[in-house]
Amino acid sequence: MNQLPLARGDAPGKIILFGEHAVVYGRPAIAAPVTQVRARADIFPARTCTVEAVDLHQRVDVAHAPADDPFARMVRLVCDALQRPLPPWRIVVTSDIPIAAGLGSGAAISAAIGRAMLTAFGAAMPLAELSALVYEVEKLHHGTPSGIDNTVVVYERPVWFVRGQPPVPFAVARPIHLLIADTGVPSPTKIAVGDVRRAWEQDTARFEALFDGVGDIARQARAAIEAGDIPALGPLMNANQDLLSRMGVSSPELDRLIQAALEAGAAGAKLSGAGRGGNMIALVGDEDAVRVTRALRAAGAVRVLSTSIQPQGML
């Protein structure tokens, strides 16, 4: 008989709807959870404290792991916050969130570990504090993260995010149906963010103007989402993608999927996340979803997820 875990924790993936890269420089961004994919952590009694990342075939001895190991880092942060010693636990982590694809896999795994540990300890922690711990681990993954991944996966609600300010969950008036298509090309956030920073340092005025444009689009998108004006989001997504391309963070694979989605009837399409690969998103109506999904697969998408951002309280 399989052993039952002492505790379980999980967390969703995430997508950025508007504002990637510019959010690092103080402009607003909109992000939402992707509940169709999740990271999970199960805790079992053991003699020492270990983390087993099943999908990565990794086993980490927390007491002896280096400081930059993200799994051990999250365990230590939770123990320090609760003023507890390392527990004799085997923490088994699994995830169906694609890695390095802009879906917040690293933040979701950290959040899942944190939630499982809190349950096993019988402890409570405000969402803001858990999000702050996950953010510390995000620094290992991304260098200078915006803070948006940890915020969305911990709060599990669409949020309006401005770096340095508390996240603001906001009203979604009507369902937003999206397709998320994976290029199959890894998209390490740290590299893309670093390249944009170097380009900004070399041509600050041009990139500040691009960031301003992205911020303006995010503000218009929030107003449209709150008003239920879903058709307005398509052109805003296309405009956001144009600015991201001008930043140099799109790619031939992303461009091909975006073009295929638009030609098949999507109302708008853009990359989501760091770019240079990873995922793109397409805004579709119910009548367009099957056709656009087929077009994305024909254009080379290795995976297409369908997700809906619902008004609060709707399933």
Catalytic residues: 149
Mapped onto helix, strand or coil, the DSSP state of residue 161 is strand
Q: In angstroms, how far is CA 92 from the centroid of its own chain?
A: 21
89 class by beta-carbon count within 10 Å (0-12 exposed, 13-18 middle, 19+ buried):
buried
Give the integer Cα–Cα distance in Å for 101 and 277. 7
**Phi, psi of 245, deg, nearest 5:** -60, -40
Of the candidates 138, 141, 147, the residue with the CA atom closest to the CA atom of residue 19: 147
Q: Are 86 and 79 in contact (CB under 8 A)?
A: yes
**Contact yes or no for 193/143 (Cβ under 8 A):** yes
User: Where do we find the tokens 């170097």?
Assistant: 198
Integer Cα distance of 140 and 137 in angstroms = 5
User: Is the CB of residue 218 less than 8 Å from the CB of residue 305?
Assistant: no
Alpha-helix residue ranges (DSSP H) falling in the chain: 70-82, 105-121, 127-142, 148-155, 189-202, 204-227, 233-247, 252-263, 289-298
> Whole-angstrom Cα distance, residue 257 to residue 280?
7
